[in-house]
Amino acid sequence: MRVVLHKQQREQDYIGQWIDDCCEVDSAAFEKHEYLHLSYRNWCQVNGVEPRAKNAFSLGLTSKGFVAGRQSVGGKQARGFIGLRLTVEAIKEVRQLNLKKSVDGLIEVMDDMLN
């Protein structure tokens, strides 16, 4: 019975599955919260899972032993998590999502200017 329960818990541990698929665990690593959550949301969409909100996502990472903190990234203070980094493939996906988000925002601004 315990084996079945553990298997069910693991299957429902979507943050854990996302970490396995998209992250590397490294005690010296730091990744911005924004990038982690964007990667997680994308993973959820691909896997047909409802993503947790940012606060619940942060609590999920903290419960797994990752430490929330701030570090300088590109000369600016950024919130993120210590001990976790996105894989190269996940970083590429986040960059594409950020680019799409920027283009969509630009189109919206231009539409507002034209109307």
Per-residue pLDDT band at 98 (split at 50, 70, 90): confident
How many CB atoms neighbour CB 102 within 10 A?
10
As a whole number of angstroms, the distance between CA 82 and CA 69 comes to 7
Q: Using CB atoms within 10 A of its CB, is residue 84 exposed (0-12), middle (13-18) or buried (19+)? A: buried
pLDDT confidence of residue 47: 96
pLDDT confidence of residue 29: 95
Topology adopted by domain 2-114: Arc Repressor Mutant, subunit A (1.10.10)
Quick: pLDDT tens for 26-79. 999 999 999 999 999 999 999 999 999 999 999 999 999 999 999 998 899 999
Answering whether pTM is above 0.85, one says no
**Torsion region of 74: left, alpha or beta (phi above 0 gives left; psi -120 to 50 gives alpha):** left
